[in-house]
Amino acid sequence: MTKGSFLKFLLLSQSNLKRLVLVNLLLLLPLAGLVYSLNRLVPRVIGFLDSFNVSIGWVREGYDRLAVAVVTGEEDWVYVFQREDFTRLRRYLFYPDPKNRSILRSEALGSGVIRLYGQPQTIPGKDGAPLITCTLEGAKENVIQVLFFKRGTVTESSHLAGYITLFAGSFLLFFGSLGGVSDYTQRVVFHEMKSFSYLFRSIKRFFWRSIQVSLFFAIVVGAIGTNIYFYIFIISGDLSVFIAALNFWMLIFFFFILFWVFPLLILNRDESVWRVMKKSLFVSLDNFEFTMDCLIFSALMFVLSCITLFTMPGIAGVFSFKNSALKDISHRYTRDDTA
């Protein structure tokens, strides 16, 4: 990305500040619903993934937030901590010498040797009374697995359907609007002044195409994110960390090759979504350094948007930048060989 491209974007944003802020304000409600529902649902998904290797069937009354650590080695042990104590004590888990094992057993609420895999096992507390009942699946040697337990209530369980409904509705409203926002900001970048009602007509026109692109993004990002979490926290080992790192760079590359999808979706409105994605791949690889600079700058804009609660530069600012950047490199392509 050249200095000239950056200055053009800043001048364009300054002269259209009110338009961009207004678009961001319209997106705030579905964005807030999306963030809130994810905040409620993601811990449940993580708990489900954790339960593949460690599941808790019963916990003594009075203990609502626990961390259960399974450490395998010459002897396999389970340690149960109060959640607030786990952060202070977890460093002892990674150096399983006799001194650290002694500290863990004295500081833990309860601990015990793993005798049966695949069968419920009761772990006693310091007083000798049962503390938790858990089922542990087989694990490789020299592996640490941690499960965070939070006692659920009937009320929380009954709200699950509501959270899912809120997430689905917010997803449709927010991501279905992105095509229209891209179109509206593209008109601003091309100095085609449109009334604000054009935004709503454009959202309607590109709604389902935006949903298709967004679903593809969500499925791929969700799958890669799950892989990263699974290999780091569920299967802990040298090879699993390496695989998690590969997944992380795969995620970065995925964002890189699909960076231009929404601007190209508007320019190629009569083509299939799959063809637009292939064009985005071509433009990204054909302008590797430029696209990488734009991706980094967009990430910085996203961080700044989080600080300003997505009022500025926000979603509209990011799409305005992407359309402005695409305009700067569009002269490289003729009508016949356009990406």
Does residue 147 fall inside a structural domain?
no
DSSP conformation letters of 225-238: HHHHHIIIIIS-SH
Average pLDDT score over residue span 292-309: 93
The residue with greater pLDDT, 50 or 151, is: 151
> 282 and 308 share a domain?
yes
- Report the DSSP pairing between strands 120-124 and 110-113: unpaired
Q: Predicted confidence band at 36 (pLDDT cuts at 50, 70, 90)?
A: very high
- Domain-terminating residue out of 83, 106, 138: 138
Domain presence at residue 250: yes
According to the model, what pLDDT value does residue 315 have? 95
Please give the backbone phi and psi of residue 133, each rounded to the nearest 5 degrees, phi first.
-120, 125
Query: Among residues 277, 319, 328, which one has the least CA distance to residue 298?
Result: 319
pTM of the model: 0.74
118 and 167 fall within a common domain:
no
Domain that holds residue 306: 3-45+158-332
Average predicted confidence (pLDDT) for the chain: 86
| 169/276 same-domain check | yes
Cα angle, residue 195 at apex, residues 194 and 197 outer, rounded to 5°: 120
Are 230 and 111 within one domain? no
Q: What is the pLDDT of residue 296?
A: 92
Mean pLDDT in residue range 5-27: 87
Per-residue model confidence (pLDDT) at position 155: 42
CA distances from 272 to 31, 264, 278 (A): 27, 11, 10
> pLDDT tens digits, residue range 39-71?
988 877 776 665 556 778 899 998 988 988 888
Domain count, the chain: 2
- Do 268 and 288 share a domain, yes or no? yes
182 and 303 belong to one structural domain: yes
Q: Is 291 inside any structural domain?
A: yes
Model pLDDT for residues 153-185, shown as the tens digit of each residue: 444 556 888 999 999 999 999 999 999 999 999
Same domain, yes or no: 180 and 261: yes
Report the distance separating Cα 82 and Cα 22, nearest Å.
46
Task: Check whether residue 258 and residue 126 sit in a common domain.
Answer: no
The reply to whether 84 and 230 lie within a common domain is: no
Element (H, E) at 58: strand 54-59
pLDDT in tens, 192-209: 877 889 999 999 999 999
Regarding predicted confidence, which is higher, 122 or 2?
Answer: 122
**Residue 12 pLDDT:** 82
Q: Is residue 148, in this structure, part of any structural domain at all? A: no
